[in-house]
């Protein structure tokens, strides 16, 4: 029997003003978001997403991108300390990678699952301790929103309209209420927002 002390699931994503997580050029089009990812507000926001988290949940594409980019940052003494902190956490943390094509995890402390995200995350919530972080993996965040399994949304809103591309909040999601628990504005007009699910 699970109790009210189940683990918190946090989803993190950067969005444009029109709610896009990438531009009209497809999943690799970060032209609108890119200029804002290295600001002080963005880096402080990055630090906040992983502190307290003991499990990272990633889709395969993000896992391959992140685990190709971040491990060298963990060793780079010239990197921003906030970037190094996240990089070290990602290397060391338990990782659950969703994939229909991988048969084994090519990274340390990772396991590959080929099952519905909501089922796997519901099981993770009921076992272990520490927060569960879904970082920028929309293929995981969307089904978790649909199943009302996300407890905290950490959003970086950038002051640009992409005009096309993928949207996070699709029609048909269950209605839900959220409480703003943190906000910070950057010099470029970017906003770091934290919303907790009001249950």
Q: Which domains does the chain have, with CATH numbers?
A: 9-188 (3.40.430.10)
The DSSP secondary structure of 43-109, one letter per residue, reads: HHHHHHHHTTEEEEEEEHHHHHHHHHHHHHHHH-TTS-HHHHHHHHHHHHSEEEEE-SS-SS-SSTT
pLDDT recorded at residue 106: 80
CB 23 within 8 A of CB 164: yes
Q: Is the pLDDT of residue 1 over 60?
A: no
pLDDT recorded at residue 20: 96
* Rounded distance between C-alpha atoms, residue 133 and residue 55, angstroms: 6
Q: What is the average pLDDT score of the chain? A: 93
Question: pLDDT (tens digit, 9 = 90+) per residue, 73-98?
Answer: 999 999 999 999 999 999 999 999 99
pLDDT recorded at residue 149: 97
pTM of the model: 0.91
Question: pLDDT (tens digit, 9 = 90+) per residue, 126-175?
Answer: 998 999 999 999 999 999 999 999 999 999 999 999 999 999 998 999 99
Mean pLDDT of 56-76: 91
pLDDT recorded at residue 2: 40
**131 to 35, 45, 118: CA distances (angstroms):** 29, 16, 16
* Between residues 46 and 156, the one the model is more confident about: 156
Q: Is the pLDDT of residue 107 over 90?
A: no
pLDDT recorded at residue 5: 57
Mean pLDDT of 57-67: 90
Mean pLDDT of 29-49: 92
How is residue 106 written in tokens?
């090519």
Q: What is the DSSP letter of 27?
A: T
3-class DSSP state for residue 125? helix
Q: Is the pLDDT of residue 119 over 60?
A: yes
* Rounded distance between C-alpha atoms, residue 34 and residue 52, angstroms: 26
**99 to 58, 61, 64, 81, 93: CA distances (angstroms):** 9, 9, 11, 31, 19
pLDDT recorded at residue 95: 96
Contacts of 150 (CB under 8 A, 6+ apart): 9, 10, 11, 134, 141, 144, 197
């Amino acid at each position: 029997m699970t109790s009210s002390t189940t683990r918190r699931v946090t989803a993190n994503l950067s969005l444009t003003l029109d709610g896009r997580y990438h531009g009209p050029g497809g999943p690799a089009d970060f032209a609108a978001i890119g200029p804002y990812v290295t600001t002080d507000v963005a880096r402080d926001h990055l630090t906040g997403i992983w502190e307290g988290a003991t499990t990272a949940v990633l889709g395969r594409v993000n896992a391959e991108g992140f685990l190709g980019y971040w491990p060298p940052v963990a060793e780079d003494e010239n990197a921003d300390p906030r970037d190094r902190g996240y990089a070290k956490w990602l290397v060391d943390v338990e990782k659950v990678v969703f994939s229909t094509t991988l048969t084994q995890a090519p990274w340390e402390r990772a396991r590959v699952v080929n099952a519905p995200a909501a089922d796997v995350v519901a099981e993770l919530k009921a076992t272990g301790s520490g927060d569960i972080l879904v970082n920028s993996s929309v293929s995981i965040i969307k089904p978790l929103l649909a199943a009302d399994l996300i407890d905290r949304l950490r959003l970086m809103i950038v002051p640009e309209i992409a005009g096309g591309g993928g949207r996070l909040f699709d029609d048909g999601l269950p209605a839900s209420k959220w409480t703003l628990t943190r906000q910070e504005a950057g010099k470029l007009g970017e906003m770091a927002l934290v919303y907790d699910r009001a249950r």
